[in-house]
């Protein structure tokens, strides 16, 4: 797979581990299958924009932070889930320049 796919998976794993969640817990929060979350984290699956949105919402981060880290941008900042602001909507993120 491409570097962007591997970097995206690494960003998802980093955020999941920072919350001390298992892949199964992230999958439950995101409404995804655990094995699919594992494939994404390993860079073995290309996530659709809908899946990226589900993961970002479950992790309490904006989609843009997952994508920036995938493109080699600044590191993902981790905010405890209890103090995280609601994730922005997909429409607002798409309107925001990266």
Helix spans in 1-98 (H): 3-18, 23-30, 34-42, 49-59, 63-70, 90-95
The confidence score (pLDDT) of residue 9 equals 95
**pLDDT, tens digit, 9 for 90 and up, residues 44-94:** 999 999 999 999 999 999 998 888 766 665 444 444 555 445 555 555 555
Q: List Cα–Cα distances, 58 to 9, 21, 65, in angstroms.
A: 15, 11, 13
- Quick one: pLDDT at residue 85? 52
Number of domains within the chain: 1
Is the pLDDT confidence value at 1 over 70?
A: no
Q: Is the pTM of this model over 0.75?
A: no
Residue whose structure tokens are 């995938």: 70
pLDDT tens for 33-44 read 999 999 999 999
The enclosing domain of 36 has a CATH number of 1.10.260.40
Q: Which domain holds residue 19?
A: 3-95
The better pLDDT of the pair 21, 83 is held by 21
């Amino acid at each position: 797979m491409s570097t962007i796919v591997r970097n995206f998976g690494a960003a998802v794993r980093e955020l999941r581990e920072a919350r001390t969640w298992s892949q199964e817990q992230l999958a439950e929060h995101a409404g995804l299958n655990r094995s699919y979350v594992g494939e994404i984290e390993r860079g073995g699956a290309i996530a659709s924009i809908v899946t990226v949105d589900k993961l970002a919402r479950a992790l309490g981060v904006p989609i843009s932070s997952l994508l920036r880290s995938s493109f080699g941008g600044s590191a993902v900042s981790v905010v405890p889930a209890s103090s995280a602001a609601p994730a922005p909507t997909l429409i607002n993120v798409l309107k925001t320049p990266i």
